[in-house]
Amino acid sequence: MQIQTISPQARPDFSKTPTIDQVGVEERVARFQTRSIKKESKVQGLKLALSMIDLTTLEGKDTEGKVKQLCYKAAHLHDVLQGLPTVAAVCVYPTFVKLAKKQLEGTGIKVASVATAFPSGQSTRKVKISDTHFAVENGADEVDMVISRGEFLEGNYAYVFDEIAEVKAACGDARLKVILETGELSTLDNVRRASEIAIYAGADFIKTSTGKISPAATQPVTLVMLETIRDYYYKTGKMVGMKPAGGISTAKIALQYLVMLRETLGDKWLTNEWYRFGASSLANDILMQLQKEQDGVYQSGDYFSKD
């Protein structure tokens, strides 16, 4: 892939992004939380959420065995229940991409790989690009990169922008998710600005968090990111995907995120092509709720496999 160089004139001025009122954002989020999702719309919403999960394992202690188990779970969430979708993708470190790809062959489940010195992003451009190349060459369908938060907070927006654009070029056909690590950005104004930088630099998805920093995904942060996607769509007609990641562990909260998505971006985004949940324990809670909708009673957690 040819690395694209950007002339300073063509780069938008990111020092003047729209302002965000935190109180107003929190009020709007509270309204989504009071939507009452019952009966058939609950089942439909839960299945949709399930199909949007990026089942994730990103630990120093990951092994081939662990990744194999996770891949099996991804394709067979809970075989007792009929009519379940699979998750959207399995998300692993670059070294496990080849294995995951082989395990998931024929399932339609994508392999996502983190890259660019995940989770801190503290490395040279060269290392980050070669990290990305490695993941893509091993067969990653999607690349989850981290932005350089230090450079961002120093005000070097051009650096952050150029880096994303270069990683995007290195991705080739793989779709690029850009992790803003909003827990380190501290204000919603910063979240808005980082979202714009990522989108204009070529992100296919913007993603809240690595899951290694607290707070991870929050609803106010997600709303600001969705609104940035909407503004970009208004201006260009192009869709960008969204992935809240980390901290979304219950079916109830997942439904609140979907309500937010539906009422902010509408129907076109209600698919795993444009929306993902980065989560590891969410799937089992959703399965438990779906089983309950079918049987009328909750089952013990021990009936749901933990991989």
Residue type, 48: L
Minimum CB separation of residue 2 from another protein in Å reads: 12
Is 207 noted as a catalytic residue in this protein?
yes
Q: Which is closer to another protein, CB of 101 or CB of 193? A: 193
Question: How far apart are the C-alpha atoms of 159 and 205, rounded to whole Å?
Answer: 19
Q: Stretches 23-31, 59-67, 107-115, 177-185: which one binds another protein (CB under 8 A)? A: 23-31
Burial of 27 (0-12, 13-18, 19+ CB in 10 A): exposed
Which of 2, 5, 8, 40 touches another protein by CB under 8 A? 40
**Peptide bond connecting 12 to the previous residue in cis, omega within 30 degrees of 0:** no
Q: Which is nearer to another protein, 10 or 297 (CB)?
A: 10
Residues 235-274, one symbol each (x = binds another protein by CB under 8 A, - = not), give xxxx-------------------x---xx-xxxx-x----
Are 226 and 242 spatial neighbours (Cβ–Cβ below 8 Å)?
yes
Q: Does residue 243 have an active-site annotation? A: yes
CA atoms within 13 Å, Cβ hemisphere of 2: 3
Write down the least CB distance from residue 265 to another protein, Å.
6
Q: Which is nearer to another protein, 41 or 186 (CB)?
A: 41
Q: Which of residues 189-218 bind another protein (CB under 8 A)?
A: 200, 202
User: Binding of another protein at residue 28 (CB under 8 A)?
Assistant: yes
Binding of another protein at residue 4 (CB under 8 A)? yes
| 21 near another protein, rule: CB under 8 A | yes
User: Measured from the CB of residue 34, what is the shortest distance to another protein in angstroms?
Assistant: 6
Q: Which of 8, 79, 234, 296 binds another protein (CB under 8 A)?
A: 234
Contacting residues for 94 by C-beta, under 8 A, at least 6 apart: 113, 114, 115, 131, 134, 135, 138, 140
* Burial status of residue 123 (CB atoms within 10 A of its CB: 0-12, 13-18, 19 or more): middle
| CB distance 116 to 136 below 8 Å | no
Stretch that binds another protein, among 17-25, 76-84, 121-129, 287-295 (CB under 8 A): 17-25
Among all residues, which ones are annotated catalytic? 144, 207, 243
Task: Write out the residues near another protein by the rule CB under 8 A.
Answer: 4, 6, 9-13, 16, 18-21, 23-25, 27-28, 34-42, 44-45, 48, 165, 200, 202, 227, 230-231, 233-238, 258, 262-263, 265-268, 270
